[in-house]
Amino acid sequence: MLFVELLIVVALTLLNGLLALSELALVSSRRSRLKTMANQRTFGAETALALTADPGRFLSTVQIGITLVGVLSGAFSGSTLGLRLADYLESAGVPDAYAEPIGIGLVVIVITYLSVIIGELVPKQIALRDPERYAVRVAPLMNALSRIASPIVGLLDLSGQLVLKLLRISPDMTGKITDEEIRSLIAEAETAGVIEPEERSMISGVMRLADRPVSAVMTPRNNVDMIDLDWEPETIFKKLRESQHSRLPAYRTDSEKVVGILQAKELLDAFIRGAEFDPRDYIRKAQIMPDTIGALDAIEMLKLTPVHMGLVHDEYGQFKGVVTTADILEAIAGVFRTEDAPGAKAKRREDGTWFIDGNIAADEFAELLGVELPQDRAFQTLAGFLLHELGKLPEVGEHVVAQGWRFEVVDLDGKRIDKVMAKRIPDTRRKRRKSSVKGVKP
* Mean predicted confidence (pLDDT) in 402-425: 87
CATH of segment(s) 213-333 = 3.10.580.10
pLDDT band at 176 (very low <50, low <70, confident <90, very high): low
Question: Would the CA dihedral through 211, 212, 214, 219 be positive or negative?
Answer: negative
Could you tell me where the beta strands, DSSP code E, fall in 244-342?
A: 247-252, 254-263, 287-290, 309-313, 319-324
Q: How many CB atoms lie within 10 A of CB 292?
A: 12
Note the pLDDT of residue 172.
58
pLDDT band at 113 (very low <50, low <70, confident <90, very high): confident
Task: Choose between 254 and 410: higher pLDDT.
Answer: 410
Question: Would the CA dihedral through 323, 390, 428, 348 be positive or negative?
Answer: positive
Contact 128, 28 (CB under 8 A): yes
Sorted by where each begins, the domain ranges of the chain are 2-166, 179-210, 213-333, 346-424
Residue 43 confidence (pLDDT) above 70: yes
Quick: pLDDT tens for 328-383.
Answer: 888 887 765 554 444 567 888 888 888 888 888 888 888 888 888 877 777 888 88
Burial of 249 from C-beta contacts in 10 A (0-12 / 13-18 / 19+):
buried
Percent pLDDT > 70 in the chain is: 90
* Mean predicted confidence (pLDDT) in 258-268: 85
In Å, how far from its chain's centre is CA 329? Answer: 21
* Rg of the chain on CA atoms, in Å: 35
Q: Whole-prediction pTM value?
A: 0.56
CATH for 346-424 (3.40.50.1260, 3.30.465.10, 3.30.300.170, 1.10.260.40): 3.30.465.10
3-class DSSP assignment, residue 114: helix
Q: Which of 134-143, 164-173, 343-352, 375-384 has the highest mean pLDDT?
A: 134-143
In Å, how far from its chain's centre is CA 331? Answer: 18
Q: Which of 14-23, 74-83, 148-157 has the highest mean pLDDT?
A: 14-23
Quick: pLDDT tens for 185-202.
Answer: 788 888 888 888 888 888
Closest CA to 38 of 50, 27, 28, 26: 50
Contact 302, 331 (CB under 8 A): no
Residue 438 confidence (pLDDT) above 60: no
